[in-house]
Amino acid sequence: MKILVTGGCGFLGSHVCETFRNEGWEVVSYDNMTKHELNRTGFRTDEVRDYNANILRNMGVEIVKADIRNREELLEHTSGCRFIAHTAAQPAMTISWEDPDLDFTSNVVGTFNVLTAARKHKIPIASCSSVHVYGPWINDTLKEDKTRFTREPLSISENDHTMNPGKSGLISPLHASKASAEHYVKTFADMFGVKAATFRYTGIYGTRQFGGEDHGWVANFSIRNIMHWPLTVFGTGKQLRDILYAGDAASAFLAYQRNPVPGTYNIGGGPKHMISLLECIELIDKLSGNKSEVKFGPKRDGDLSYFVCNMERVSNTLNWYPKVLPEEGISILLSWIKENAELFGGSSQKASGS
Ligand SMILES: NC(=O)c1ccc[n+]([C@@H]2O[C@H](COP(=O)([O-])OP(=O)(O)OC[C@H]3O[C@@H](n4cnc5c(N)ncnc54)[C@H](O)[C@@H]3O)[C@@H](O)[C@H]2O)c1
């Protein structure tokens, strides 16, 4: 059985490729190898771009360098596939307001093309969205304690408002492109009978994540801790997410492939995985033995200060649950960063603190 993973050489995509390879699938990664936000991390960009691809090649994954905006190429490569995992995207809010054209063509046109391929070849598809589609109204519902924002009820469900800026928030092009893509997923499911689902992911973290200030905050904080670089928290640091380990995030695709019930699913860690930025930094410091050097900057427009998934739908329908708790997942991430310190621009000896 063959799966096509769009964005397969990205962070989440690489974990999806690995998950399906481990299940004996023939796996094709379809990725244009751009990952624009890498250019601003200061990491060794060329090596980083190839890193996931080389690991996947060694696992026996076929690497196709191509663009989801190229519909003909996509139609060709999806032929013969039994499932599409759509992870390719422009995922960063900062880049979405700097280059809304890139954001629109990647996230809306790209998803439309992937859905068209799924429809033509009659293939089930799950497409990545983000909890950002709910919009910053959630920020108006928060209380705060010493280290985190909190609210009642704790979790937010798929039936809550989406695209709602609230009193003080802004809707960014990323909100618009992800929400538009969701509408197309639903339309293709309802009107054309495509077995299509949207996964609204919370913050995901794990190995092979080259997180920077634009995208991937758990990895960004972890890399900076290991490399002894200062980190910047935008806002108070009480922002909170139910973070999700990459292997768990990838296993949701497997759950959907086994039982492809179209719909929109919140996918996160839920209340057991809640952690604020300040708490996460403290945990990273405890696990690594290094003290993070923390600076604070102004809160960024459009940022969601809080999200915890209500996961009744995904648990009841797809029988999917997250397994890896933050302490375990962050330990794995820190070990991976230490082993690969040269990719970030440092020597592993210095980075390990030894
Ligand atoms: N990482 C998170 O915390 C998180 C949270 C919520 C949602 N998501 C969503 O999950 C998906 C994967 O995110 P990620 O963190 O792995 O991002 P990533 O940037 O690591 O991976 C995306 C991959 O898509 C590729 N790509 C971009 N544009 C492409 C195009 N036009 N054609 C083909 N390939 C293209 C990139 O080269 C990259 O390898 C995205 O849709 C993102 O919005 C991620």
Q: Which amino acid, 25?
A: W
- Do 13 and 61 meet the contact criterion of CB atoms below 8 Å apart? no
Number of other residues whose CB lies within 10 A of the CB of residue 165: 16
Buried-state track 13-39, b at ≥16 Cβ within 10 A, e below 16: bbbbbbbbbeeebbbbbbbbbbbbbbe
Measured over the CA atoms of residue 228, residue 243, residue 108 and residue 207, the dihedral's sign is positive
158 lines ligand 1 (CB under 6 A): no
pLDDT for 184: 98
Task: Give the residues of the chain that fall short of pLDDT 50.
Answer: 347-354
Alpha helices, DSSP H only, in the chain?
Answer: 11-22, 45-59, 71-78, 93-98, 100-104, 110-121, 173-192, 217-227, 246-258, 277-288, 312-318, 326-339, 341-344, 348-352
pLDDT for 300: 86
Q: Angle formed by the axes of helices 110-121 and 173-192, to 10°?
A: 20
Q: Cα(33) to centroid of ligand 1, in Å? A: 10
pLDDT for 346: 60
Predicted confidence (pLDDT) per residue in 221-257, tens digit:
999 999 999 999 999 999 999 999 999 999 999 999 9
pLDDT for 303: 83
Q: Cα(106) to centroid of ligand 1, in Å? A: 10
Q: Cα(143) to centroid of ligand 1, in Å? A: 32
CATH number for the domain formed by residue range(s) 2-352 = 3.40.50.720
Polymer length of the chain: 354
pLDDT for 353: 38
First to last CA, the chain: 46
Q: Cα(152) to centroid of ligand 1, in Å? A: 31
Hey, what are 55's tokens?
Answer: 């690991």
Hey, what are 349's tokens?
Answer: 């000896």
Query: CA 21 → CA 54, 104, 318, distances in Å?
Result: 15, 31, 21
128 lines ligand 1 (CB under 6 A): yes
Hey, what are 317's tokens?
Answer: 């329908």
Residue nearest to atom 13 of ligand 1 (CA): 12
Predicted confidence (pLDDT) per residue in 29-77, tens digit:
999 998 777 777 878 888 888 999 999 999 999 999 999 999 999 999 9
pLDDT for 348: 42
Give the integer Cα–Cα distance in Å for 2 and 12: 18
